[in-house]
Chain A
Amino acid sequence: MASIDIENVSKIYPGSTARSVADIALNIKDGEFIVLVGPSGCGKSTLLRMVAGLEDISEGEIRIGTRRVNEVEPAHRDIAMVFQNYALYPHMSVRDNMAYGLKNRAVPRPEIEARVAEAARMLELGPYLDRKPRALSGGQRQRVAMGRAIVRQPAAFLFDEPLSNLDAKLRVSMRTEIRRLQKRLGTTSIYVTHDQLEAMTLADRLVVLNAGRIEQIGTPLEIYHRPASTFVASFIGAPAMNLLDAEIAGNRLRIGDEVLDTPVSGAAGKVTLGIRAEDLMPADRGLSFTPDDIEDLGAQRLVHGFVAGQPLTLVISPATRVEDCRRLAPKPGALHVFDTLSGARLDLHTEHDSRPVLPVGQGL
């Protein structure tokens, strides 16, 4: 059990001049579950592998506990890793797969047996201990990979997309299981995924990466409610947040010819306005909306359409008629304003409290 400190770490792969990971600073508390999330190629795996010791650290320093590990072999970093393809040793039984790392560390045999038995019990792998990985289902292999990490009792778990080879249903149940195990063991964990739902449900803190840089660090809800940039806003949350070209003029937000009632403070000029699909409601006054296409998901309906010629998606309950959605108003406090050029969040004061857009009680 240990904290992990990543201090201004960069990675420049040999033969390339670009930084695949650029100047990452992140302090992970003991026992914390950190999820690295971002689109493909943003450097999640690279960062994780630098913590594991599988890639050299080009710049900066990584400390596990208080010990600098830049030059330490993976075996001596006191970490365990779960790989996307599980990387189980195909010729060893489940038992031997779990015990191998302990044998190499000269852990006494009774101790190995006790730890393997305990992990097998926790992961319900008892009946499979003498099978080869080939004779297991994907979910069971995944558990074995987890077991191999658990028996080591390391200071930290590192996960690189451990669930992405499983089907959707199994992914959900394994997700809860990983979360439960981690809480129970209290082991510091770094978890890489590009699935934002996995990221939201697992993380104590979420780190959103883009092109090798940190876009935002925060709890899942902080990131959901206050995305730091248009990139985060469009990456976290499904359906993606609507981003519209807008303009501040006379303390009001204008989208084309449409004007929002909510007063905003802030310099006049062009901005990007973000509104989540679930934060828009049918109203008597508001943005005029032209519905175009409907997706029925059962519990909710997605309505795709246009506001002032710009695409916009709206979530409504199945009971709501699309014809009622001709005019839309945002929920109070649901507006996100971003700088058009940099994409960074602008913290403007929107005075939704003093003058509510909607009569209280009206909603979906």
Chain B
Amino acid sequence: MNKVTPFDHLVLILGTLLMVTPIAIAVMTSTHTAADIHVNGLSLLPGGDGIETYSTVLTHKGGFTGQVTGARMMMNSLILGLGFAVGKIVLSMLAAYALVYFRFRFATAMFWVIFTTLLLPLEVRIMPSYQVMAELGLLNTYTGLIVPLLASATGTFYFRQFFKSVPDELLEAARIDGAGPVRFFIDILLPLSRNMIAAVFIIMFVYGWNQYLWPMLMTTEESFFTLMRGIKQILQVWIGSQIPDYNQAFALAVLALLPPVAIVVVFQSWFIKGLTESDK
């Protein structure tokens, strides 16, 4: 290791500024009134309107039906994010468990098929998925929002690699200790995968939270709108001479940031361990 020089600090400070400034601007701007923003543009200093804007955003019933509040949208996003993360983890762990620990024909071939779908982005299969859901009558339901996207090649791949790194002797010791396949999975494998689960959870939660295209297709009822759609919605109210509610859009964007940040902060120590080392 070289000695840390002032230049290193300079680079780090510049990097930090680059990352933090846009967020700071968003937070600060959201505390000004819409008119103020329209006239003066973005702002780096706090305005006096913060509390009012945020309470409006969270509780004001907006939209065409006048039913949907920011809090409601936030809840929808949370349901989507959590449903995604939990569902994907459960499914991919089970799939990886079968691939690694059970000898069945074409297991390797099957793994590679799953692996190849990693390369296909969601958009490729979005139309067929939509059609299936539509015919099952699952449009405008949480089930329809979450279930079709649960199969996760990324998750399966991560868990497969992790399970392969668990020493065989552990399985053998457990077999001698009288643990069957279910016991082994619950008592041994699950606790050992803790860090991996945390890592996959964060990635998948943020992925679900940020979904835009799929919820837009799947939901037409406003009570199912997510935050990501809400932000867009506000900026679209550009009718006549009305000024869009910039302040509310910024407030929503800031609110949309909070849960992923909270989750990363909570899980970060596990997250880093999960990605860098396997617990011996």
Contacts and interface: CB of A to CB of B under 8 A. Distances in A.
Contacts of A306: none
Contact of A74 (B176, B192, B280): B176
Interface stretch (B165-173, B231-239, B240-248, B249-257): B165-173
Interface string A183-195: 0000000000000
A90 interface: yes
A90 B175 CA distance: 16
B177 interface: yes
Given A104-B177, A104-B178, A134-B280, A91 B170 contact: no
A137 B194 CA distance: 24
A101 B192 contact: no
A85 B279 CA distance: 16
A304 B147 CA distance: 77
Contacts of A81: 172-173, 176
A79 B188 contact: no
B175 A74 contact: yes
B192 A87 contact: no
Nearest to B170: A87
Q: Report, as a range, how many residues of chain B touch the other chain.
A: 10 to 19
A104 B179 contact: yes
Interface string A72-91: 01110001110111011111
A100 B177 contact: yes
Interface string A82-122: 01110111110000000011001100000000000000000
Interface of B: 167, 169-170, 172-179, 183, 187-188, 191-192, 194, 279-280
B280 A90 contact: yes
Give 3 closest A-B pairs by Cβ, nearest first: A101-B177, A87-B169, A104-B178
- Which of B169, B183, B279 has the most CB atoms of chain A within a 10 A radius of its CB? B169
A100 B175 contact: no
A54 interface: yes
Given A81-B172, A100-B179, A148-B177, 18 more contacts: A52-B176, A53-B176, A54-B172, A74-B172, A74-B175, A75-B177, A80-B176, A81-B173, A83-B173, A87-B169, A87-B170, A87-B172, A90-B192, A91-B188, A100-B174, A100-B187, A101-B178, A104-B183
A91 B167 CA distance: 14
B48 to A, nearest CB: 53
Contacts of A75: 175-179
Contacts of A100: 174, 177, 179, 187
A73 B175 contact: yes
Contacts of B174: 89, 100
Contacts of B188: 89, 91
A105 B183 CA distance: 12
10 contacts: A52-B176, A74-B175, A75-B176, A81-B176, A83-B173, A100-B179, A101-B177, A104-B177, A104-B179, A148-B177
Contacts of B178: 75, 101, 104-105
Interface string A45-75: 0000000111000000000000000000111
Contacts of B172: 52, 54, 74, 81, 83, 87
B104 to A, nearest CB: 15
A88 B191 CA distance: 14
Contact of A83 (B169, B183, B279): B169
A57 B178 CA distance: 20
Nearest to A77: B176
Contacts of A134: 280
Contact of B167 (A52, A53, A85, A148): A85
A302 to B, nearest CB: 38
Nearest to B176: A74
B175 to A, nearest CB: 5
B274 to A, nearest CB: 14
Given A85-B169, A90-B280, A101 B183 contact: no
Contact of B176 (A79, A88, A89, A90): A79
A89 B191 CA distance: 10
A54 B173 CA distance: 10
A84 B169 CA distance: 9
Contacts of B279: 90-91
A88 B177 CA distance: 11
A53 B176 CA distance: 9
